[in-house]
Amino acid sequence: MLQSKVLKVYPYKYWSTMATCLAGGFQTTLVGIILSRDKNTWKLGWDLNLVTILYSGVLATAGRYCMTLWVVSKRGPTYPPMFNPLSVVFTILLDSIFIGDEITVGSLVGTAMAIVGLYIFIWGKSKEVNEK
Sequential DSSP letters for the chain:
-HHHHHHHH---HHHHHHHHHHHHHHHHHHHHHHH---GGGG---SSHHHHHHHHIIIIIIIIHHHHHHHHHHHH-TTHHHHTTHHHHHHHHHHIIIII-PPPPHHHHHHHHHHHHHHHHHHHHHHHHHHH-
Predicted pLDDT at 4: 66
pLDDT tens-digit readout, 69-126: 777 777 777 777 767 777 777 878 888 888 888 888 888 888 888 888 888 887 887 7
Cβ contact 6:65 at 8 Å: no
Give the pLDDT score at 2: 65
pLDDT of residue 1: 56
Domain ranges of the chain: 1-76, 83-132
Confidence band of 131 (pLDDT split at 50, 70, 90) = confident
* pLDDT level of residue 45 (50, 70, 90 thresholds): confident
As a whole number, the mean pLDDT across the chain is 79
Q: What is the reported pTM?
A: 0.48
